[in-house]
Amino acid sequence: MENNSNKPLPHNNKEKCEVADIFHLYGDSYRQSHSLPYEKIKVMHHIEVCRTAQLGGHVQQCDQCGFEQNAYNSCRDRHCPKCQCLVKEQWLNDRKAELLPCGYFHFVFTLPHDLNPIILSNKSITLQILFSSVSETLHTFAKDPQWRLEGQLGFIAVLHTWSQTLMDHFHLHCLIPAGALSFTKDRWVPARDSFLFRTQSLAKAFKKRYLQRLQTAYQKDKLIFVGNTAKYHSQKEFEKLVQSLSKVKWIAYAKRPFAGPEQVLDYLGRYTHRVAISNNRILSIDNGQVTFTYRDRDRNNETRIMTLHAHEFIRRFLLHVLPMGFVKIRYFGFLSHKNKKQAIALIRKLIDPYAKLPQKIAETITEMMLRLTGTDIICCPKCGKGKMKIIRKLPRQY
C-alpha cells in the first residue's frame, strides 16, 4: 500500500525521524510475521542499537565546568544511514592519491527488472556476474581499434540496488578516466572530449555477456529458484526467459563527462557510500505509516512524497541488504589494487607531470567533523569553553 502526493506534508513530528525509529516501533512485529535470513536480522539489529548504550561507549567530562555526557559507539554496518559519513570522507581522502589530470566519464549499466526475482534469490552470483560482464565489456571496447584507444582502461564500479522509492533496481555506476594506457605503457591515449564508446553498442555487448554467464550458472546448478521463480527451475522455462531478455533493449547510458578531479570527488561523495534511504528523507512515522521524500525521474527529478505502511517500508529497505562479504565498490584495469600504485604515477607523468591535484589530508576525526559540519565535537556543549575529555569507558550491554 502506498500513497503519492505533491502536497507539502504537515509537520506533526517535531523530532527527527530515522530508520532506527521505524525498526524500534515495528521491527518486532515484522520479524514475527516474516521469515528472515540471518543477515537481514543482523542488519536490523545493528541499526536499532547504533549509538545506543547497547554498543557501549565512553563518558566525557568537560575540563572546565565538569559537565558530563555519554557518547555511544556506532554499529559500523554498511547499511546503516548513520554510519556512512566518516567512512565516505576517509574513502574520498584515499582516492585523492589516485586522481588523474584528465576528464572522467560516468557510465551506468542497468539490469532489466524481469531479472529482479532471480537476483533477489541469488544476489552473490548474479551481482558478481554484473561486475564481470561490465568489466569485460569495457575492456573489450578499449582494445577495439574502432574506438581509437587500443589500451587499458581503469575504472571504479559502484553497485546500487535501489530506486528512489526503495524498490529493487540493480545497476552499476562506472567512473572512467577519459583515456587509456597503451599496452606498451609508453603513452597515454586520450579519449574524445565528449565521447568514449557508443552506449547502444555497449548495452548490446553487456547484455550478451551477462546472459551467457547467467546460462552458465544455471547449467552448473549455481542458481536457486524459490517462490515466484520456481518455474525457472525447468530448463524450458529458463531458456524461454533468456530468449525474452535477449530480445528487449538493455540500458547503458553515459552522463556528461566530468571536467576534472575536483568534479570527480564531488561525484564520488554523492554516490559511493549511499544506503537505500538516508534519514533526512524520512518526514514522519505515524499510526503505522512512514512518509518520506523521493525524486520522480519521470518528472524532471521533482521532489515528491510517498507514504507506505511500516511493514512495506521495512520490506523494501531489506531488499537492499547485500550478502556478507560482498564488495560493492570495485576497481579495474590500471586502477585495480595490484596495478594502481605504479600505473597512476606513470600516467600522471605521461599526461602532465606538473598538474596540480587535490592532496590527501592528514586529519583527526575531530578535525574532519569540524571541516564537514563546522562543529567542534570536543567543545563542551554546556559552557562552550572547555574541552570534553574521556574519563571512563562504558561496556557493551549484551
Per-residue pLDDT, 138: 98
| Contact indicator for 48, 24 with CB cutoff of 8 Å | yes
C-alpha cell at 382: 554546556
Type and span of the H or E element at 347: helix 340-351
Estimate the share of the chain in helix, then strand, then coil, as percent rounded to the nearest 5: 40, 25, 35
298 CB burial (10 A radius; 0-12, 13-18, 19+): exposed
108 CB burial (10 A radius; 0-12, 13-18, 19+): middle
C-alpha cell at 128: 558478481
| Contact indicator for 157, 166 with CB cutoff of 8 Å | no
Q: Classify residue 183 by its DSSP letter.
A: T
Per-residue pLDDT, 265: 75
C-alpha cell at 284: 514522519
Residue 58 bridge partners (DSSP): 71, 393
Positive or negative: CA dihedral 181, 187, 192, 198: negative
Q: Which residue has the cell 527451475?
A: 233
d(CA 395, CA 73): 10
Per-residue pLDDT, 148: 92
Per-residue pLDDT, 15: 66
d(CA 166, CA 172): 16
Gyration radius (Cα) of the chain, Å: 24
- DSSP conformation letters of 109-144: EE--GGGHHHHHHSHHHHHHHHHHHHHHHHHHHHH-
pLDDT block averages, 10 residues each, the chain of length 398 = 44 70 97 96 97 96 96 95 87 89 93 97 98 98 95 96 96 94 96 90 98 98 94 95 96 81 76 89 96 90 96 98 96 96 96 89 84 88 95 91
For domain 99-276+319-351, give the fold: Replication Protein E1; Chain: A, (3.40.1310)
Residue 182 bridge partners (DSSP): 151
Q: Is 258 in a helix, a strand, or coil? A: strand
Per-residue pLDDT, 266: 74
- Each residue of 318-362: pLDDT tens digit? 999 999 999 999 999 999 999 999 999 999 999 999 998 888 888
- Residue 190: phi and psi, rounded to 5, are -75, 145
